[in-house]
Amino acid sequence: AQSVTQPDIHITVSEGASLELRCNYSYGATPYLFWYVQSPGQGLQLLLKYFSGDTLVQGIKGFEAEFKRSQSSFNLRKPSVHWSDAAEYFCAVGATGGYNKLIFGAGTRLAVHP
């Protein structure tokens, strides 16, 4: 069965520090992979997506993610975190049947210390 695991429930970093959020997926074929961010009172916003091609994907707000098939991972990274990045981050895989039929992980809540 398709699934997504985000091992870290909460992460705290200092402003200006680098960030890596982990995501592991289980999927039988080549996956469509996504990272979304959810801020309080806001809808889910797409940060970046991977379909095929270059395994290093650039997104909005300075985020990037790297698809590693051998590790079934799609980790999200940012070189320097800003206080406004504090939010909940969700990794998702596109399930069989449709592009936007997404299976989400449980999320990682990011806190940023000044």
Residues in contact with other proteins by CB under 8 A are 4, 36, 41-46, 49, 90, 92, 95, 97-107
What is the C-alpha separation between 91 and 89, in angstroms, rounded?
A: 7
Residue closer to other proteins (CB basis): 32 or 67: 32
Distance between first and last Cα of the chain = 41
Q: Nearest distance from residue 21's CB to other proteins, in Å?
A: 13
What is the C-alpha separation between 49 and 54, in angstroms, rounded?
A: 11
Q: Nearest distance from residue 61's CB to other proteins, in Å?
A: 15
Q: Nearest distance from residue 94's CB to other proteins, in Å?
A: 10
Parallel, antiparallel, or unpaired for β 108-113 and 33-38?
A: unpaired
Residue closer to other proteins (CB basis): 10 or 68: 10
